[in-house]
A and B are shown apart, each in its own frame.
Chain A
Amino acid sequence: MNQSALRIGIWVYLAIFFAYLLGPLAIMSVTAFNSSEFPRTTPWECLTFDWFVELFRDERILNGIKNSFIIGAGTVVLSVAMGLAAALMLTQIWPRLRATYYTVVIAPILIPGVVLGISTLVFWDRINRFLGLGPDSFLSNGIFLTVIGQSTFIASYCMLVLVARLQRYDMGQTEAALDLGATHAQAFRKVLLPFMRPAIASAAVLAFLASFENYNTTTFTFGQYPTLTIELAQKVRYGINPSISALALIIVLLTVFFALLHDATQRRRAMAAAARLGAPVTVREVAGGIRLPRVLSGNPAAVGLVIFLIGVITVVGTATAYSPAACIARVDAEKREAAERRIEDLRRQREEERERNFDGVFAPEKLTPDSGEDAGATDDNGSGFGNVFDPGNLQGEEEGATAPEDDADTSGFGNVFDPNTLTGD
């Protein structure tokens, strides 16, 4: 009794935990398909794919992706090289220096990214000035600084990954190669490097992902070359729209896909290893690791992905059948109608107000053309100034500034002046 209650408790807890972890991403992905100007799920307006189109038309995003790849490649090369050298050094450094050395190379993981960005910027700026180079020299180039700044801490990750593998390496192999007449470079290239290859691959992937999503360090060093993350941050901070959700959905799907692929290959490799040890696994089973049904049977995440893809396909199917443009036009028409009705109401109210007042010089609409709703709500104050001095009015404007989603609805004009409505027609 008690045991089963505990079990239920654990599952409820796990459910809440993963809802917290995955829920936001799911909701964000859904908003990519809503035609609403602000990313949201309710009220659901129209199903649309325009945000994906808009995303791929966005020059800055595309440019950001390009810069991210250039910087990512540079960071991978530099951090893996430094991480490998540092890992090799760790195995043979003078024992008394070892603890200090380890602290120094691990420290960048704990130093806040902001601090790393600043120190990189300040230091290379000084070097640049010391060498008497101008402000457009290579050393103050955004790509160079970002690669350097990111590699400072990403190399630590790489080193940790590489050290774990290096610990299982038998130095006798290198010595044997040297005894057989190989040069040091040959021994490194033909003996050590092949052994380290899986770890180098993981370190490279890790380094690329860390570089791609880094914000704190890059934000100080990017100069003229904003990465995708920087562009996203700019967009999110100054007015958001669902094309960011569209990008997020693409990234989520890519991540899930590669995670599943990685999982499947690992599992296949584990089975192959088990087979080699003489475990009762037939060759067919090993080969079957990549067959689709097998992946699905052992992998609920894959099942989830397939269900999701089926969902996407149905959605696409219905979308082509019912034509999103018509729906958007209808919603726009509804909005415009509502706005016109509101303007009409407003005009009537103001006329009544004007009749009550002795003069129309300070007619409220001249002073506050777009605080219509508020004026309508407080028409009983009867002052000639409308509610220009109403504190709520000011606050309403501030709300609008911080929450751009309201623009479309609270402005008296609906979205008549929205360029999208024009193109929609």
Chain B
Amino acid sequence: MPHFLKEFFNRNGTGMGLVMLGLVLFWTVGLIILPQLSMLDFSFRPNLPPPEYGGPKDVYTLENYRYLVFGPEGGSQDFNRVDLRVFYRTIIAALFVTLFNLVLCYPIAYYLGQSKTSKIRIFALMLIIPYWINEILRAFALRIIFGESGVINSALVGLGIFDVPFDFIRNDIALYAGLGYAYILLMIFPIYNVIESLDRNQIEAARDMGASWITIHRRVVIPYAKPGISSGCTMVFMLTAGALAAPQILGGPSSLWFTQLIYQQFNDNNDWPQGAAYAIVLLVTCILLVLAIMRLFKVNMGDMGK
């Protein structure tokens, strides 16, 4: 180890080496690792007023996790039905949004990957511009459209399909459309990057040998694009499950997203340890799910960074 350090300082000079090492350590240890560990530790502690920190009551407890599963102590129900249902719904909905994005984006990514570069520039611009508009404003735009007097309702009522405006917000349609809308770009680009490098001759060859359109995709394109598909899906899933803005703006009054529960614990109930425990549950569940799906489709973590 000292040998490694000595070599490092020799190569970069003592001053530069120290600055570099300091910045990297500050980031990796001070901003990434320690805060996560601190949050993990915090989630096992009771919610105490600041003067009692480190006091006799400040002991490790599983209470915050127990609360998520069983609800308040002495509560009327066996399980914390409300929070568990929100959690379950968030995960399932995030999976469906990811699937929806994949189905929607795969043809676009394939088309862009196979077409000439002159077209790409314009499409890339049109893809990137919505992505740089604020997340809040994008959700707001969808709220205008799905609102009771929004464009869609005006059209539907005007055409006589519905007699009264349909409440898209209460029925969560606006929420799912907004979540799907938010992270489209992160699905397209990884898939596009991979498909772009696919040799067109492979597709030609498959076609010459009589493969149908579906077979070409199933046997040639999709296996080749698997790293891109999995990294796109991973990003969209993680971001959707962790989304906060879209559910707050587009969610109906009675339907919550799990991140909103975390937000409530922190800002309304002022119960930080409880919020930290919920955040840990969300993080761990998402990571486990992603790893499980990657195992299922036989993709390595190393392929994904490409």
Residues A252 and B38 in contact, CB atoms below 8 Å apart: no
Encode B270-289 as 1/0 by CB contact (under 8 A) with A: 00100110010011001100
Residues A10 and B136 in contact, CB atoms below 8 Å apart: no
Residues A123 and B242 in contact, CB atoms below 8 Å apart: no
- Chain A CB within 8 A of B39 CB: yes
Q: Quick one: closest A residue to B155, CB to CB?
A: A42
List the B side residues contacting A233 at CB < 8 Å. Answer: 136, 245, 248-249
In the complex, what distance in Å separates the CA atom of A216 from the CA atom of B142?
19
| Count of chain A residues with a beta carbon within 8 Å of a chain B beta carbon | 93
List the B side residues contacting A81 at CB < 8 Å. Answer: 23
Residues B125 and A263 in contact, CB atoms below 8 Å apart: yes
List the A side residues contacting B23 at CB < 8 Å. Answer: 81-82, 85-86
Residues B13 and A183 in contact, CB atoms below 8 Å apart: yes
Interface of B is mostly: helix
- Chain B CB within 8 A of A209 CB: yes
In A118-133, which residues have CB < 8 Å from any B CB? 118-124, 126, 129
- Chain B CB within 8 A of A25 CB: yes
Encode B157-171 as 1/0 by CB contact (under 8 A) with A: 000000000000110
- Residue in B21, B39, B136 whose beta carbon sits within 8 Å of that of A236 in the complex: B136
List the A side residues contacting B141 at CB < 8 Å. Answer: 24-25, 27-28, 248
Shortest C-beta distance, B129 to chain A (Å), equals 6
- Chain B CB within 8 A of A115 CB: yes
Encode B187-206 as 1/0 by CB contact (under 8 A) with A: 00000000000000000000
List the B side residues contacting A89 at CB < 8 Å. Answer: 20-21, 24
List the B side residues contacting A267 at CB < 8 Å. Answer: 121
- Residue in A21, A27, A123, A255 whose beta carbon sits within 8 Å of that of B39 in the complex: A123
List the B side residues contacting A403 at CB < 8 Å. Answer: 147-148
Residues A40 and B149 in contact, CB atoms below 8 Å apart: yes
Q: Quick one: closest B residue to A178, CB to CB?
A: B13
* Known A17-B108, A213-B132: A244·B235 in contact at CB below 8 Å: no
| Count of chain B residues with a beta carbon within 8 Å of a chain A beta carbon | 90
List the B side residues contacting A40 at CB < 8 Å. Answer: 144, 147, 149-151
- Chain B CB within 8 A of A57 CB: no
Shortest C-beta distance, B39 to chain A (Å), equals 4
Shortest C-beta distance, A304 to chain B (Å), equals 10
* Known A122-B38, A216-B243: A248·B137 in contact at CB below 8 Å: yes
Query: Which stretch of A147-155, A308-316, A322-330, A378-386 is in the interface?
Result: A147-155
Residues B140 and A248 in contact, CB atoms below 8 Å apart: yes
- Chain A positions within 8 Å of B, measured between CB atoms, are 10, 13-14, 17-18, 20-25, 27-28, 31, 38-42, 81-82, 85-86, 88-89, 92, 94, 101-116, 118-124, 126, 129, 148, 151-152, 155, 183-185, 188, 209, 212-213, 215-216, 219-220, 228-229, 232-233, 236-237, 240, 244-245, 247-248, 251-252, 255-256, 259-260, 263, 267, 299-301, 402-403, 405-406
- Chain B positions within 8 Å of A, measured between CB atoms, are 4, 8, 11-13, 15-17, 19-21, 23-24, 26-28, 31-36, 38-39, 42, 50, 53, 104, 107-108, 111, 121-122, 125-130, 132-145, 147-151, 154, 169-170, 181, 184, 234-235, 238-239, 241-245, 248-249, 253, 259, 262-263, 266, 272, 275-276, 279, 282-283, 286-287, 290, 301, 305
